[in-house]
């Protein structure tokens, strides 16, 4: 599929993977709209990225999300990077934290799917963000959330076929804005430690992960798939 003039919505598109997807898609002359949670980060991103439209809303709020879509023309592709990370196993993490992590990873994206699926152009697609590399013993709620995303993608791909496609990108630990609160020296140490357990012996780049979202949009014979851009971390 040629992405020229395709309307692409990136939810979580002001930093990290989403921002890089926007930049790469702009080079293909796509029509990009981003949703960010932070007014400040959205403003900074729009100032730095010519040709992108954006709006700051809480995409976890179904009323706000529905109101946004109702003001827009249908999109060819909707990309979600919603969801975060957590550390801790099932016994040493609070029930509240595990529930919150699963809620923000899975149920928020399921809610998005229910709303966004009504505002897609025919032959359009939904692309979610899963995750690779963690362990249930030290990332309990996040692992459950990622597995739930993968299951949802498989189900939606069948439910929405043949007119629409649904896929997900599954990166492993990658230095992005998600870790902006960690000092640079500490982040470098984490990257070096993580790389030791990856067959390719390095961490991935934001650009490498972002390219997978473009592939999901461009390949029209791909649905229900989880693209693992993770250096083989689970091998």
Report the C-alpha gap between 106 and 214 in whole angstroms.
22
> Which residue do the tokens 């709209």 mark?
33
pLDDT higher than 90, residue 57 = yes
What pLDDT was estimated at residue 179? 58
Give the tens place of pLDDT for each residue, 109-120.
Answer: 999 999 999 999
* Topology classification of domain 7-228: Rossmann fold (3.40.50)
What is the residue-averaged pLDDT of the chain? 94
Q: How far apart are CA 204 and CA 206, in angstroms?
A: 7
Domain borders along the chain are 7-228
Closest of 133, 19, 111, 4 to residue 63, by C-alpha: 111
Q: Between 108-116 and 140-160, two packed helices, what is the crossing angle to 10 degrees? A: 20
Render pLDDT for 176-187 as a digit per residue (tens, 0 to 9): 766 566 677 877
pLDDT tens-digit readout, 87-138: 999 999 999 999 999 999 999 999 999 999 999 999 999 999 999 998 999 9
């Amino acid at each position: 599929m040629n992405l020229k003039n395709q309307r692409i919505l990136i939810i979580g598109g002001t930093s990290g993977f989403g921002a890089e997807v926007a930049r790469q898609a702009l080079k293909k002359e796509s029509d990009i709209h981003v949703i960010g949670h932070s007014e400040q980060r959205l403003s900074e991103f729009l100032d730095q990225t010519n040709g992108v439209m954006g709006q700051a809303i809480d995409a976890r709020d179904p009323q706000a999300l529905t109101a946004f879509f109702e003001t827009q023309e249908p999109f060819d592709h909707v990309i979600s990077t919603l969801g975060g990370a957590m550390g801790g196993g099932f016994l040493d993490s609070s029930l509240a934290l595990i529930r919150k992590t699963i809620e923000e990873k899975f149920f928020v994206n399921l809610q998005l799917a229910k709303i966004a699926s009504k505002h897609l152009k025919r032959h359009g697609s939904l692309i979610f963000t899963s995750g690779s590399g963690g362990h249930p013993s030290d990332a309990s709620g996040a692992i459950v959330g990622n597995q739930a995303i993968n299951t949802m993608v498989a189900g939606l791909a069948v439910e929405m076929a043949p007119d629409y496609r649904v896929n997900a990108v599954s990166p492993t630990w990658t230095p992005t804005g998600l870790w902006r609160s960690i000092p640079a020296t500490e982040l470098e140490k984490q990257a070096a430690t993580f790389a030791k357990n990856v067959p390719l012996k390095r961490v991935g780049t934001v650009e490498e992960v972002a390219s997978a979202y473009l592939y999901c949009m461009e390949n029209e014979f791909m649905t229900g798939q989880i693209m693992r851009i993770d250096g083989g971390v689970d091998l």
